[in-house]
């Protein structure tokens, strides 16, 4: 029963992802991406990582997708459906992607992972919080600096020069 | 007082440095700098002259090089010959500089001109002061360089540039001879010093060859046949430069060199004979060309070649004193004549004597001094040229060279004739074109007057190198004076009748058409050189060029084309399209995974 | 419980789909969308391995958090760049930007 839930969520994520990269309208693509991200959030919940699932929904669907929509609306006419959205190398790209996928499957299949079932205790929110403030304090601080840099950079680049 | 001599060339050298560096700022003051320096070296030269009575010789300022274990010093020689040259160069140089302030007035490279003239004088003064071949050669080349710079001074004119190159290349042929000659001398006798020349012994005929090669250098510098071709073309330079080249600096260097090496030539009769023969050929040839030349400056140029030929002839028949005496007198009257010619050209704006005429009434000062110069050159008693030419004639006669004696007489006849032709066509008769001549400014006429005084009286001084027993010989040779006077005066009268009175009109020209053509084409020497040297050289150059262009460049281009065509294929990969690169990256990723997992 | 292999399979699919999108989309925003897919594929793996193999400090989830933050920063800067480029060149198509070649 649990497996069926996972299959459903994973199937949705895969279908939405394909739609997100193949739709003509870029706006639709953004929406399908949002759906994909929601499905991934579902996977996180399924994996008993509710905090990460919440973050996924908040940051991705709430923040990044909104930004995408803004950007799409600001670069107005590209939404036009008559404009070709795929470039000339789509066929080799598709072949390479498929080949990559095949290789990855082969790689996973040659390893006993497929049979592993969880034996570790569920990671609680307290553990994550403690890790961030102790063992991962330095990367955490770096991350804040990166976010600040991105913020400042975005303002500087986006500013209209007089 | 003797050891101040080395300051003489340094003074103009300083003027050169100042003018070449600060010329733009100094503007017209650069002339004052040059003249002051020149007067400075004149004063120093006079001091050196005064010191001559305390004895003479050479001194050195320190060691320069050691070659094959032999020291080469910065040696300065001071003797009557040097002092004579010092006085001539600095005196005439000063007058020409003063004259130039008027002649070059308003030229855009005014200060540059004075810088070059100063360097020219400095080189020449250094040349006559050197006591060894090496220093002489350096100054010698300095003189050559300055002549090139000054002849092509108006380098906007292609003819001037061509003339400068021609002068440089032609004299360079002679310079090479000089270099080889002096090296032969060094490697056989081990000396570069002039004072050793009287005593050197070496294997024959190598020594004769060395002497002749040294004379080749003199031939190039003094424009002797067959290296005379540059001098007439050198008239493209400013006239004041021509005066300096012809009178004081450049061409005198060759005669000076032969005089300086005179002991060497005396010791080798064949070399001496060569000098005399070349001098005789140059004298006669140039004088005959001058008779038909219509360009006033070219007449002067051929006259210079002819007179230098006489000097060489005098040296060649053993007359060191006669040759140098003529060098001195010639310096004065030739400078005078050139400056007069410059003044005339300045006044009428043309160089063609067929277009001039009747200038005496308007150009009083210029014309008077011109006539003085002409009489001096023609050798009319009592002007300067008479005395020196007389001395040459006497030397030739006393040393039993009747052929050369005849050559000198014939040359003086021709000289008097073409100079007569010149003044009768230019100064007298009717004006043949509607020119409006005007007298030149004082800065130009004052040097003319000074020089004409010298042209009158310098002959009485006598040769600076008087030989013992000269006076006794003079007693029996009054007939020679008489003969030369008769020849010269009759030639002037002939010119008077032919050109002013119009006797012997056009018919004579048509009767001797072949001869006239031969003369007016300068014996076809330029054409001959063109055919023998220039054309084959040009052909060779064209062949070398086409080889270079087609083979060398072809190879280089082939390599370049090959690289370009190969890279033309390779650059297709550089599409400039980011996603192509990403595609290849993804392919690489796949390959790496395959390789790592060994699937 | 579902075996680990299914999560890796799903993540590989999302990853390859993202790669395909990056290689083929003409639109710069489309490329950014595809990049988000790739990052999510990585995140799925991190969380799944954390769950299945376990770790005392929750390393996988912490790293996934970092990845989310990085992704947010990257897409912000990327989108602003796209807008700046669009303002200058009036285009968001990749093949229009080959200044280095010309």
Residue B96 sits at φ, ψ, to 5 deg, of -70, -35
Dist CA B389 CA B322 (whole Å) = 8
Nearest CA-CA distance, residue C45 and chain A, Å: 10
Q: With contact defined as beta carbons under 8 Å apart, do B184 and B47 qualify?
A: no
Residue B560 C-alpha, separation from nearest chain C C-alpha, in angstroms = 21
B353-390 confidence digits (pLDDT tens): 777 777 777 777 888 888 888 888 887 777 777 878 88
Q: Kindly indicate the confidence band of residue C88, based on its pLDDT and cuts at 50, 70 and 90.
A: confident
| Contact yes or no for B575 and C24 at CB 8 A | no
Q: Alpha helices, DSSP H only, in B379-524?
A: 384-398, 402-426, 442-461, 470-475, 478-495, 506-511, 513-520
Query: Is residue A106 less than 8 Å (CB to CB) from chain B?
Result: yes
Do the beta carbons of residue A13 and residue A56 sit within 8 Å?
Answer: no
For C4-96, the fitting CATH number among 3.30.1650.10, 1.10.287.3510, 3.30.70.600, 2.70.70.10 is: 1.10.287.3510
Q: Is the pLDDT of residue C95 over 60?
A: yes
Q: Do B579 and C98 touch (CB under 8 A)?
A: no
Report CB contact under 8 Å: A17, C5. no
- Is the Cβ pair B577, C19 closer than 8 Å? no
CB contact under 8 A, B597 and A93: no
10 Å CB burial of residue B345 (0-12, 13-18, 19+) is middle
Q: Which of A150, A152, A159, A160 to mutate to test the interface with C (most CBs of C within 10 A)?
A: A150
Q: What is the pLDDT of residues B251-266, one digit of tens each?
A: 888 888 888 888 888 8
Contact check, Cβ <8 Å, B587/A103: no
d(CA B290, CA B123): 30
Tell me if the bond preceding A111 is cis, omega within 30° of 0: no
Q: Residue A110: its chain B contacts at CB < 8 A?
A: 597, 599
Length of chain C: 102
The confidence score (pLDDT) of residue A16 equals: 93
Mean pLDDT of chain B: 81
B454 confidence band (pLDDT: 50, 70, 90): confident
Tell me the residues of B at the A interface, defined by beta carbons under 8 Å apart: 579-580, 583, 586-587, 589-590, 593-594, 597, 599
Q: What is the ipTM of this complex?
A: 0.89
In this prediction, residue B470 has a pLDDT band, given cuts at 50, 70 and 90, of very low
pLDDT reading at B131 higher than 80 = yes
> What is the number of alpha carbons within 13 Å of residue B453 lying toward its C-beta?
7
* Distance (Å, whole) CA B90 – CA B578: 79
Cβ contact (<8 Å) for A96 and B597? Answer: no
**For the packed helices B402-426 and B296-316, what is the interaxial angle rounded to 10 degrees?**
160
- A88 and B CB contact within 8 Å: no
pLDDT in tens, B135-178: 888 888 888 888 888 888 888 888 888 888 888 888 888 888 88
**Closest in B580, B583, B597 to A107, CB measured:** B597
Distance CA(A6)–CA(A12), nearest Å, equals: 10
Instruction: Please state the pTM of the whole predicted model.
Output: 0.65
CA pair distance B93, B89, nearest whole angstrom: 5
Q: How far is CA B133 from CA B75, B141, B171, B180, in A?
A: 10, 12, 17, 11
DSSP string, B262-299: HHHHHH-HHHHHHHHHHHHHHHHHHHHHHHH--BHHHH
Interchain contact C53–A (C-beta under 8 A)? yes
Calculate the CA dihedral of residues C64, A66, C38, C25 and round it to 10 degrees. -170
B324 and B462 Cβ atoms separated by less than 8 Å: no
Q: Which residues of B touch C82 (CB under 8 A)?
A: none
Contact B579 C94 (CB under 8 A): yes
Of B580, B583, B590, the CB nearest to A103: B590
Domains of chain A as residue ranges with CATH: 1-77+148-162 (1.20.120.1200)
B583 closest CB neighbour out of A96, A99, A110 = A96
Mean pLDDT of B212-241: 83
**C-alpha distance from C13 to closest chain B C-alpha (Å):** 15
> CA B78 to CA B514: how far, in whole Å?
51
Q: Would you report the helix, strand and coil content of chain C in percent, each value rounded to 5?
A: 80, 5, 20
| B584 → chain C, closest CA residue | C23
**The dihedral sign for the CA sequence B298, B304, B310, B315:** negative
- Look at residue C60 and tell me whether its pLDDT is greater than 50: yes
Per-residue pLDDT tens digits for A97-114? 999 999 888 888 877 766
């Amino acid at each position: 029963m649990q497996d069926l839930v996972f299959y459903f969520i994973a199937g949705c994520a895969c279908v939405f992802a394909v739609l997100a990269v193949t739709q003509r309208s870029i706006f639709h693509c953004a929406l399908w991406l949002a759906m994909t991200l929601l499905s991934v959030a579902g996977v996180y919940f399924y994996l008993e990582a509710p905090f990460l699932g919440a973050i996924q929904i908040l940051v991705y669907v709430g923040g990044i997708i909104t930004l995408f929509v803004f950007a799409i609306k600001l670069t107005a006419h590209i939404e036009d459906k008559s404009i070709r959205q795929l470039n000339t190398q789509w066929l080799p790209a598709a072949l390479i992607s498929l080949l990559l996928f095949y290789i990855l499957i082969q790689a996973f299949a040659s390893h006993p992972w497929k049979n592993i079932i969880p034996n570790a205790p569920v990671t609680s929110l307290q553990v994550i919080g403690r890790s961030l403030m102790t063992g991962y304090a330095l990367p955490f601080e770096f991350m804040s600096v990166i976010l600040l840099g991105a913020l400042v950079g975005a303002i500087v680049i986006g500013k209209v020069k007089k | 007082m003797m050891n101040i001599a080395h300051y003489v060339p340094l003074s103009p050298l300083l003027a050169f440095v100042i003018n070449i560096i600060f010329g733009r700022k100094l503007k017209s003051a650069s002339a004052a700098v040059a003249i002051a320096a020149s007067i400075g070296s004149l004063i120093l030269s006079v001091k050196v002259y005064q010191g001559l009575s305390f004895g003479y010789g050479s001194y050195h300022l320190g060691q320069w090089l050691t070659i094959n274990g032999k020291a080469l010093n910065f040696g300065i020689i001071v003797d009557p010959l040097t002092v004579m040259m010092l006085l001539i160069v600095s005196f005439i140089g000063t007058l020409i500089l003063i004259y130039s302030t008027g002649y070059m007035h308003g030229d855009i490279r005014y200060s540059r001109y004075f810088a070059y003239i100063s360097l020219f004088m400095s080189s020449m003064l250094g040349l006559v002061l050197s006591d060894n071949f090496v220093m002489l050669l350096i100054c010698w080349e300095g003189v050559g360089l300055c002549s090139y710079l000054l002849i092509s001074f108006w380098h906007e004119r292609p003819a001037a540039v061509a003339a400068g190159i021609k002068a440089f290349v032609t004299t360079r042929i002679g310079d090479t001879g000089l270099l080889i000659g002096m090296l032969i001398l060094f490697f056989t006798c081990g000396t570069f010093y002039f004072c050793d020349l009287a005593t050197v012994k070496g294997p024959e005929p190598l020594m004769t060859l060395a002497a002749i090669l040294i004379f080749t250098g003199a031939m190039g510098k003094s424009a002797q046949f067959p290296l005379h071709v540059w001098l007439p073309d050198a008239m493209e330079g400013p006239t004041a430069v021509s005066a300096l080249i012809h009178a004081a600096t450049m061409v005198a260097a060759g005669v000076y060199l032969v005089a300086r090496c005179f002991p060497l030539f005396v010791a080798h009769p064949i070399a001496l004979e060569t000098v005399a023969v070349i001098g005789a050929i140059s004298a006669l040839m140039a004088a005959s060309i001058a008779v038909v030349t219509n360009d006033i400056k070219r007449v002067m140029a051929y006259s210079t070649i002819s007179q230098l030929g006489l000097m060489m002839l005098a040296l060649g028949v053993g007359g060191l004193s006669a040759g140098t005496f003529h060098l001195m007198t010639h310096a004065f009257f030739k400078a005078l004549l050139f400056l007069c010619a410059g003044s005339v050209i300045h006044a009428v704006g043309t160089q063609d004597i067929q277009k001039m005429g009747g200038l005496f009434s308007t150009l009083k000062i210029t014309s008077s001094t011109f006539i003085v110069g002409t009489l001096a050159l023609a050798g009319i008693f009592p002007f300067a040229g008479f005395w020196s030419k007389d001395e040459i004639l006497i030397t030739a006669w006393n040393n039993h060279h009747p052929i050369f004696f005849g050559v000198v007489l014939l040359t003086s006849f021709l000289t008097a004739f073409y100079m007569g032709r010149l003044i009768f066509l230019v100064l007298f008769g009717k004006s043949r074109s509607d020119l409006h001549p005007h007298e030149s400014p004082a800065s130009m006429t004052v040097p003319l007057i000074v020089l004409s005084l010298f042209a009158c009286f310098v002959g009485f001084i006598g040769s600076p190198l008087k030989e013992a027993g000269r006076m006794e010989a003079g007693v029996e040779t009054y007939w020679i004076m008489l003969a030369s006077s008769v020849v010269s005066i009759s030639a002037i009268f002939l010119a008077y009748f032919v050109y002013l009175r119009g006797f012997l009109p056009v018919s004579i020209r048509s009767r001797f058409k072949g001869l006239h053509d031969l003369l007016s084409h300068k014996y076809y020497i330029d054409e001959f050189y063109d055919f023998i040297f220039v054309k084959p050289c040009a052909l060779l150059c064209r062949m070398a060029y086409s080889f270079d262009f087609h083979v060398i460049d072809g190879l280089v281009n082939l390599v370049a084309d090959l690289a370009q065509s190969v890279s033309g294929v390779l650059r297709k990969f550089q599409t400039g399209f980011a996603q192509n690169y990403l595609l290849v990256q993804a392919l690489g990723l796949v390959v790496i995974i395959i390789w790592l997992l060994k699937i | 419980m579902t075996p680990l292999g299914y999560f890796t399979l799903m993540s590989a699919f999302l990853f390859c789909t993202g790669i395909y999108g990056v290689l083929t989309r003409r639109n710069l925003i489309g490329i950014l969308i595809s990049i988000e897919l790739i990052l999510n594929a990585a995140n799925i793996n991190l969380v799944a391995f954390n769950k299945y193999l376990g770790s005392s400090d929750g390393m996988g989830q912490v790293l996934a958090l970092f990845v989310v933050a990085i992704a947010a920063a990257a897409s912000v800067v990327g989108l602003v760049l796209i807008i700046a480029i669009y303002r200058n060149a009036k285009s968001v198509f990749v093949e229009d930007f080959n200044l280095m070649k010309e």
